[in-house]
Amino acid sequence: MELQREVSESMEEGKDIFQGVLKGSPRLAYEEERAIKKALMLRKWVSPLETKAVENSYFVYSGVIRRVGEDFSWLAEALAALAREKGWEERVVEKIEELSQRLIYGVTAQGLPLSRIRLRGLGRTYINQLLYQGYDTPEAIAELPLSELERILPKRLAQRLHQYCQLHYAPKPEKSNNSQKIKEEKAFPSLSLTLPPTSFSLLTLLAKRAGEVVTRDEIYSHLWPDFSDPDGSSNPYEHQISDHKRKIISQIKKAVKGKVDPTSEEIKSLIITKRKVGYMLNLKREEVWVLVDD
């Protein structure tokens, strides 16, 4: 009865997957019931519903919901890749990719631009508060006076968000001849890094495919070409990849000290871990140059 009520409240009665629930068929298998509850929970997670309300509905904390969202996110991402390969309409593929991102951050489609700011403390609760006030893009926030942000958000978060948006999204001044706007470029200063050979190989591989997820299997093949795993057991090199990622970020922080804030979110999120999928260098391809000596 509880599942029937949830399906009805979600207005999902028309979907085939829920017909067994609504028609009172023999008792659902545990795993099937669990899967349906997860789907309904995530539907609320990507809605404007308050986090506390979602937690109370399923008796779990937001951290658990977030992890479930991340698991479903990579499934949606894989589905989008398969759909594109099969020639589905691009607008459908883009909707699946959008859903993949929404599941990670627990936001509506309207909240995605703000979720991509990736500022510590700016979670779905505060994003929804900003949306409720009509501020749905970083550019809109950049135009706000700090006092208005402090009215909506906790003071420290408001100050950090204001500073971030002013730096990255505020309109740039025009040149003195008023003929061309100054172009903003996002780049790290020239760095000299000292890395172990394997860490360097990992960074090079990610740099060559900047902005693209490199799967774990591709990384294994590149870094340890002699490794084979015929029985499909857990790969012993998974922790080593994480360790090499940590070494790369650590060396970058040392190299930028005195030039860029080594604790900045930009550096922390430079290499993104896609859980159960792979890793990605979080830069656009045109922002990365890979020079190879002959």
pLDDT in tens, 171-195: 765 544 443 332 333 445 556 677 7
Tokens of 50: 């308050």
The answer to whether the pTM exceeds 0.85 is no
Confidence band for 158, pLDDT divided at 50, 70 and 90: very high
Higher pLDDT, 18 or 101: 101
Is 144:151 a contact under the CB 8 Å cutoff?
A: no
Identify the CA nearest to 74 among candidates 40, 90, 97, 45. 97
Q: What pLDDT is attached to residue 293?
A: 45
More confident residue, 208 or 10: 208
Delimiting residues of CATH 1.10.150 domain(s) in the chain = 107-169
Neighbours of 287 (CB within 10 A): 13
The span from the CA of 143 to the CA of 154, in Å, is 18
pLDDT confidence of 74, banded at 50, 70, 90? Answer: very high
Task: Answer yes or no: are the C-beta atoms of 54 and 45 closer than 8 Å.
Answer: yes
Q: Which fold has domain 197-228+236-287?
A: Arc Repressor Mutant, subunit A (1.10.10)
Over range 32-48, report the average pLDDT: 88
Contact 198/271 with Cβ under 8 angstroms? no
Average the pLDDT over 93-121 and give the result.
92
Task: Name the percent of the chain lying above pLDDT 70.
Answer: 73
Query: What is the pLDDT averaged over residues 138-166?
Result: 91
Specify the pLDDT at position 182. 29
Q: Judge contact between 135 and 107, C-beta under 8 A.
A: no
Contact 216, 238 (CB under 8 A): yes
Number of H helices and E strands in the chain, helices first, is 15, 3
Per-residue pLDDT of 142-155, as tens digits, reads: 888 899 899 999 99
The two three-digit tokens of residue 71, written as one number: 């698991």
The fold of the 107-169 domain, in CATH, is: DNA polymerase; domain 1 (1.10.150)
The letter for the amino acid at 210 is A
**How confident is the model at residue 108, as a pLDDT?**
94
Mean pLDDT (the chain, rounded): 79
Sheet of 271-274, strand order? 214-215, 278-281, 271-274
Contact 113, 142 (CB under 8 A): no
CATH 1.10.10.10 spans which residues of the chain? 197-228+236-287
**Cα separation, 236 vs 227, whole angstroms:** 10
pLDDT average, residue stretch 192-204: 80
User: Among 26-40, 64-78, 274-288, which stretch is predicted with the lowest mean pLDDT?
Assistant: 26-40
Report the pLDDT value the prediction gives residue 91, as an integer from 0 to 100.
93
pLDDT computed for residue 173 by the predictor = 59
Q: Residue 187: what pLDDT?
A: 42
Least confidently predicted of 20-29, 76-85, 252-261: 20-29
Kindly tell me the burial class for residue 122, based on how many C-beta atoms sit within 10 Å of its own C-beta (0-12, 13-18, 19 or more).
buried
Q: Given pLDDT bands bounded at 50, 70 and 90, which one contains residue 264? A: low
Cα separation, 114 vs 122, whole angstroms: 9
